[in-house]
Amino acid sequence: MKYLDEYRDGKVARKIVDEIRRIQTKPWVIMEVCGGQTHSIVKNGLDYLLPEDVELVHGPGCPVCVTPLEMIDKAHAIARRPEVIFCSFGDMLRVPGSEGDLFTIKSEGGDVRVVYSPLDCLKIARANPDKKVVFFAIGFETTAPANAMLVSRAQKEGVPNVSILVSHVLVPPSIAAILQSPQNRVQGFLGPGHVCAIMGYREYEPMSSRFNVPIVITGFEPLDILQGTLMTIRQLETGRAEVENEYSRILDREGNRPAQKLVSSVFEIADRKWRGIGTIPKSGYKLRWEFREHDAEKLFNVKEIDTREPEICISGQILRGIKKPHDCPAFGTLCTPQRPLGATMVSAEGACAAYYAYGRHLKAEKEQRQAVHVLGGVA
C-alpha cells in the first residue's frame, strides 16, 4: 500500500483546512450530494475540521434511501409470487416495506437472490425458463448503464422471462428541486463523482448559471471532500458560480459516452417519486415502450399501494439540507438502523444511519430522551 499517503496525509488535510480558514469570511451552507460522500464526512469527522460557520448538509444521493416505500412494497408483492425469482443488490434486502423485508420473504420460501451484476439475471433466467426473473433496478446514473445492458441483452438474446422493476432517479433534477424550494439554505454543492464518471458534468453547467450556485464535482476520499469544499468556498467568497471538477483523475466533462448511449436507448426520462421528498418532475428513468415486455410493473400489474410514512420522520427536510439528523426527536431512539422510520435511516449511506453508526446520536442523547418523553413514547 505504497500510494496511500498522499490522499490520507494529515499535513495535506491541515493545509487545505488552513486555506479554507484563511479565505472564508462569511457563513456558508454546502451540500454534498452523494451518500458515499456523506458516509466519508461523518466517518472521518470532516465537518468538525471546518470553521464553525461552514456547514455541510447532506443531500439526497443515497439510492436505497430515496426508493419510495410504495416501490419497495411493489417489489415485495412481486417477490412473493411463486413463479418469480426476485433478484436484487444486497443492500435492498433489509430495507423494510410496510410488511417485512426481502429477507423475510426469502425465509418464508420466496426465491429471493442477491446478485453482483444485473447480467447475472440473464444466466438465472436462461437456467429457469419456467420462472419469471425480476430484477429490482434502483439507483442513480452510475447504475443505469448496468441495468440498461441487462434489458438490451434480454431483448437481443431473446430471453423473454427477465424483467426489471424500475426505480431510477437522477441527480440534476433533485439539485434543481432543492434550489427551487423557498426553504432552501444550500449555497454550493459538492457534486457526485461516480455519477459524473458516467454522465460527465456538462448538464450541471446550465443549472449552476441559472441558480447562480457553485457546483464542484468531488470524489469521496477525505482529501477530495476537503479540496472540493475549499474550491466551493473560493467560488462563494469571490462571487463566482461555475461547475468545477475536483475529480479530474477519474472523470471529464463528457463522461462515458458508450454508457450514455445505451442508457438513452433503453430508458426515457420520467417523473419519479423520491422517498421523503415526493414527486420531482422528470427526475428519473422509465423503460422505453420498445422494452415493455421486460417492464415488471407492466407485466405483474401490481395495483397502486397506499403507504404512509410516520409523521414524526423529518427525512424529507434532511434530504433537502433544511435539517440535520440531530434535529429529529426520534433519531437514535424511536428510529435506529434496526428499526428505521424513514428514508435517511434505511441505508448505511443515509445521513441518519451514518450519524448513528459513528456515535453521533450519543452526543444528543439526553435532549432526545427528553424529546421522546415529550412525545409520550410513540412507537
Partner 1 sequence: MCLAIPGKVVETFEQRGLHMAKVQFGGIVREACLEYMPETQIGEYVLVHVGFAISRVDEAEAERTYQALMDLDQLTELESPVVEEMEPGEDRR
In the complex, which residues of this chain contact partner 1 (CB under 8 A)? 1-4, 6-8, 34-36, 39-40, 43, 61, 63-64, 89-91, 111, 113-120, 123-124, 126-129, 139-140, 142-143, 145-146, 149, 153, 157, 192, 194-195, 197-198, 220-222, 249-251, 256, 258-259, 262, 347-349
Q: 3-class SS at 84? A: strand
The residue among 36 and 214 lying less far from partner 1, judged by its C-beta, is: 36
**Quick check: 152 and 270 in contact, CB under 8 A?**
no
Distance of closest approach, residue 247 Cβ to partner 1, in angstroms: 10
Distance of closest approach, residue 293 Cβ to partner 1, in angstroms: 20
Distance of closest approach, residue 287 Cβ to partner 1, in angstroms: 18
Q: Is 244 exposed, middle or buried (0-12, 13-18, 19+ CB in 10 A)?
A: buried
The residue among 88 and 315 lying less far from partner 1, judged by its C-beta, is: 88
Could you tell me the end-to-end alpha-carbon distance of the chain, in angstroms, rounded to an integer?
A: 48
- Cβ neighbours around 210 below 10 Å, total: 11
The residue among 34 and 78 lying less far from partner 1, judged by its C-beta, is: 34
The residue among 170 and 302 lying less far from partner 1, judged by its C-beta, is: 170
The residue among 148 and 334 lying less far from partner 1, judged by its C-beta, is: 148
Distance of closest approach, residue 309 Cβ to partner 1, in angstroms: 22
The three three-digit cell numbers of residue 194, written as one number: 461516480
Identity of residue 192: P
Separation between Cα atoms, residue 304 and residue 297, nearest integer Å: 10
Distance of closest approach, residue 198 Cβ to partner 1, in angstroms: 6
The residue among 138 and 364 lying less far from partner 1, judged by its C-beta, is: 138
Separation between Cα atoms, residue 84 and residue 86, nearest integer Å: 6
Question: 216: which strand partners?
Answer: 190, 244
Positive or negative, the CA dihedral 81, 82, 85, 91 is positive
| Rounded (10°) angle between helices 120-127 and 144-157 | 30
The residue among 14 and 261 lying less far from partner 1, judged by its C-beta, is: 261
Identity of residue 195: V
Distance of closest approach, residue 368 Cβ to partner 1, in angstroms: 26
Q: 3-class SS at 370? A: helix
**Quick check: 139 and 63 in contact, CB under 8 A?**
yes
The three three-digit cell numbers of residue 90, written as one number: 444486497
The residue among 64 and 313 lying less far from partner 1, judged by its C-beta, is: 64
Distance of closest approach, residue 300 Cβ to partner 1, in angstroms: 21
Secondary element (H or E) of residue 68: none
Separation between Cα atoms, residue 347 and residue 25, nearest integer Å: 36
Distance of closest approach, residue 9 Cβ to partner 1, in angstroms: 11
